[in-house]
Amino acid sequence: MFGAIKSFIRNFRITIDYPRYEREQRAAHLAQADRRFDASQLNKEIAQIRQQATAAGDQRFGSDVASLRQRIAATEQGLRKDRQLLSIFERNYKAELDALYAQKTQLFEEKEGLLADAQAMKAERSAAHDDLQEAYDDLEDAKSDVDRWYAKSERTPWLFGNGGKKLPKHSLFGQSHGDLSSAKYRRGEAVSDVGDSKRRIADIKARQAAARQAIDRNYAEIGAVMEKIGAVKKDRQHMYDLKSEGVDPAVLRTTIQTAQSTLTDLERQLRSSENQRVAVIQETQARLGLGEREAAVADLLSREARFVEDFDSEQSRATRQDEHRRQWMASHA
């Protein structure tokens, strides 16, 4: 019984100690892999070969490639300039200006309509305010009639009132309930008129705000069209100036065609020189053994990967567990 307990405790202590041992063994295994499969010297030689091969290619064709690239850049710059000049002559300035003038006329017509609408809404709003004031006046009159009716109905007869008297529903000459109903009706009508006038004014305000936005847009569009007209006229004047300086569009077209042909030929020469440069680089790399060294590096990396993976195999793990138990037992004898 006591021996079984001791064995259980010993196994438990071995188990909790094993992760430490595993970490140490993994670090040692990776360090061994770095030593056994070190490719630093091969990589250094590969870099040197690439450098030597590039230098050989540049020595043979580098100056040709650089010169051709400079000539291509200069030709492209000249082409862009000539094409830009030719585009100035090929524009239809009359058609552009006619379209802009038509747009300008339409915008000014819209402007007149918008301003007329704004003026009409201003007058409409003024009339609506007058109607609102009239409705307020009617409301005050009706409220006063109601207040006077109640005051008279409660005032003593000594002060020309009807206090204590039963008033008829209708009367041609004296106070009656019909008078009160009429005053209340007029008060209700006045309240309704006040509400209608306020809603009418709010609607006019909203339409005025929208009209102001439309006017602002119209002014902005007119300004943009005027700027475009000025720009087109400026470009047209530039064309006139170029003509007076002797620039001929026919000559420009011929120059562009010649430059395009020259550019095509230069690009062909550049491709040929670059291909020959690459061929020299590849031939030098092969002669100096680049392929063999790259294959050797790939082989080392493959073997290193298998070596590292072998650490996690079941057989290797079982061997480490046995060795750990042996070492632990020896150190705790």
pLDDT of 156 higher than 90? no
Q: Is residue 332 part of a domain?
A: no
Q: Is residue 81 part of a domain?
A: yes
- Helix axes 93-154 and 177-244, enclosed angle (nearest 10): 170
Q: Is residue 265 part of a domain?
A: yes
- CATH code: domain of residue 280: 1.10.287
Q: Is residue 82 part of a domain?
A: yes
Q: What's the maximum distance between 2 C-alpha atoms anywhere in the chain? A: 140
Q: Is residue 173 part of a domain?
A: yes
pLDDT digits (tens, 9 = 90+) for 76-128: 999 999 999 999 999 999 999 999 999 999 999 999 999 999 999 999 999 99
pLDDT digits (tens, 9 = 90+) for 177-205: 566 677 778 888 888 888 989 999 999 99
d(CA 332, CA 12) in angstroms, rounded, equals 14
Domain coverage including residue 140: 37-288
In terms of residues, how long is the chain?
333
C-alpha angle 116-119-212 in degrees, rounded to nearest 5: 85
Q: Is residue 240 part of a domain?
A: yes
Q: Is residue 326 part of a domain?
A: no
Per the structure, the count of domains in the chain is: 1
Q: Is residue 321 part of a domain?
A: no
> Which one, of 177, 178, 186, lies nearest residue 144 by Cα?
186
